[in-house]
Amino acid sequence: MPMPSIARERCRKFLRDGERIQYLIPGISLYVNGVRTRAAFFVVVTDRSITILYGGRFRRYTPKAVYDRLPRRTEIGPVEVHPSLGPVLTVAELHLEIDEEYVSAVRAANLEGAHDLPPDPLPDL
C-alpha cells in the first residue's frame, strides 16, 4: 500500500533544507538494538542522505524523531524473506518488517546510491 501524502509531508519536516524524498519505506521493527520491540519506522531516502525516522508504537504515519542519519552511499539492507514474516530489512541496527512492494524500492535506492556503477554501454539510445 503506497504511503499517503500526509505521511510524506510529516517526514519532510525532519529532513535538512533542500533534500528531496526519492523513496519512503515504512516498516515495523522486530528488534531495536537486540530488544524485541514493535514500533513504526520510516526509511527516507533522499538525494543527499538516508534518514531513519522513529514513528512510535501507536502512530503508523506520524514520525516523532530522527533515529539515525546515514550517508547516501550507504547500502540499505540486506532484505531477507522469511516464510512467516515476509521481507525483513536490516538498516542502522534495526530489523524492520516491510511490505513486499517496498523490496523493489530498497533495491532501486541501493542502485541509485552506488556511484561506482559501470558506464552505460549504449549511451546513444
In whole numbers, what is the pLDDT of the chain averaged over residues?
89
Average the pLDDT over 44-62 and give the result: 90
Q: Is 53 exposed, middle or buried (0-12, 13-18, 19+ CB in 10 A)?
A: buried
Rounded alpha-carbon distances, angstroms, from residue 113 to 22, 47, 97, 123 = 11, 9, 22, 20
Number of domains in the chain: 1
Q: Is 104 contained in some domain?
A: yes
| Residue 15, pLDDT above cutoff 90 | yes
Mean pLDDT across 95-123: 84
Task: Check which CATH number belongs to the domain holding 48 and give it.
Answer: 2.30.29
Residue 120 lies in a domain: no
| pLDDT for res 35 | 80
The reported pTM is: 0.85
Which residues pair with residue 32 across a beta bridge? 35, 94
Domain assignment of residue 16, yes or no? yes
The answer to whether residue 30 is domain-embedded is yes
Q: What is the pLDDT of residues 57-97, one digit of tens each?
A: 877 789 999 999 999 989 998 899 888 888 999 998 899 99
